[in-house]
Amino acid sequence: MRRAPLLLWLFMALYVLAGPAVCAPATTRTVLVLGDSLSAAHNIAVDRGWVHLLKARLEDMRPAWRVVNASISGETSLSGRNRLPALLKQYRPRVVVLELGANDGLQGLSIRQLRDNLAVMIGSSQAAGARVLLLGIELPVNYGPRYRDALRRTYVELAAKYHTALVPFLLEGIALDPALMQADGLHPTAAGEPLVLDNIWPRLRPLL
C-alpha cells in the first residue's frame, strides 16, 4: 500500500522531464484536394501547379498542415463521389477542397446529377468532420447561356445550402488572358497557376 504514493511521484517526475511533447504529440492536419486536371497540373510540371504552391505556403504553419492532392485528369463528379469515401477514411482531412464539375460540363452531362454528386460529397466531408471549400468553374460561351447559367448556379446554391466556402470561378482573371492559358484554352499555364492560388487563398485561409 505504501508503494502507491511513490509510483505516483515517479510518474509525475517522468511527465515533467519528458515534457508535454512526448505525452501529447502535435497532430498533423490535412487538406484534401479532390479535383480534375485543373488541380492535377495538366501539361505542366507538378511543382508549378497551384496545389503544390499551396503545399509550399502551408509548410511553415504550426501545427503542421499537409496537402494531399487526390486530383485526376478527366475526373467527373460521379467518379469523384465514388472515390471520396476511401479518401476520407484514409486521410481524415480537416479541410476538403472540391474542384469538380468541369468535365461534367464539357461532356454536357446532367446538371441535376452534378448537383446531387457534389451534395453527397459535401455532406460526406462534413459528416467526417471536415470543412469544405467548393471551387466553381465556368464553361466556354459556345455551351449556351442556359447550361452555363445552370452550372454557375449549382455552386452558389450548394454553398448556400450546406454553408460551405465558395470560389465562384476558379479561373477568374485568368481564363480570358491568352498569356496565362495553354493552347487548349482550358488549362492555365505555369505562369497562371499562382493566380489560381490567389483566387483560392482568401476563401481557404479562414478554414485553416
Predicted pLDDT at 6: 52
In the block, cell 495553354 appears at 182
Q: Average pLDDT of 3-29? A: 48
The lowest-confidence range among 61-65, 139-143, 201-205 is: 61-65
Q: Let me know if domain 26-207 sits in CATH 3.40.50.1110.
A: yes
Q: What is the end-to-end Cα distance of the chain in Å, rounded? A: 50
| pLDDT tens track for 22-46 | 333 446 899 999 999 999 999 999 9
Question: What whole-number distance in Å separates Cα of residue 28 and Cα of residue 63?
Answer: 7
Residue 59: exposure state from Cβ atoms within 10 A (0-12, 13-18, ≥19)? exposed
Predicted pLDDT at 64: 83
Q: Which of 132, 110, 129 is nearest to 121 (CA)?
A: 132
DSSP bridge pairs for 33: 69, 97
Kindly list the catalytic residues.
Answer: 37, 184, 187
Q: Average pLDDT of 73-94? A: 98
Residue 89: exposure state from Cβ atoms within 10 A (0-12, 13-18, ≥19)? exposed
| pLDDT tens track for 102-146 | 999 999 999 999 999 999 999 999 999 999 999 999 998 989 999
Q: Hey, where are the domains in the chain?
A: 26-207
